[in-house]
Homo-oligomer: A and B are copies of this chain.
Amino acid sequence: MEKGATSTMAKTEYVIEPGQQMITVTRVFDAPRELVFKAFTHPKMVEQWFGPREYTTTVDKLDARPGGLWRFVQRDGKGNEFAFHGVHHDVVAPEYVVATFEFEGMPGHVLMQTVNLEPLGNKTRLVEHMVFQSVMDRDGMVASGMQRGSDDSMDRLAEVLAKA
Q: Which residues of A contact B (CB under 8 A)?
A: 20-22, 66-69, 86-90, 96, 98, 100, 102, 108, 110-112, 114, 129, 131-134
Contacts and interface: CB of A to CB of B under 8 A. Distances in A.
Interface of A is mostly: strand
Tallying the copies of this chain within the complex gives 2
A110 B89 contact: yes
Nearest to A69: B67
B114 A112 contact: no
Which among A68, A90, A111 has the highest number of chain B CB atoms within 10 Å?
A90
Nearest to A101: B89
A98 B110 contact: yes
Contacts of A133: 112, 114, 129, 131
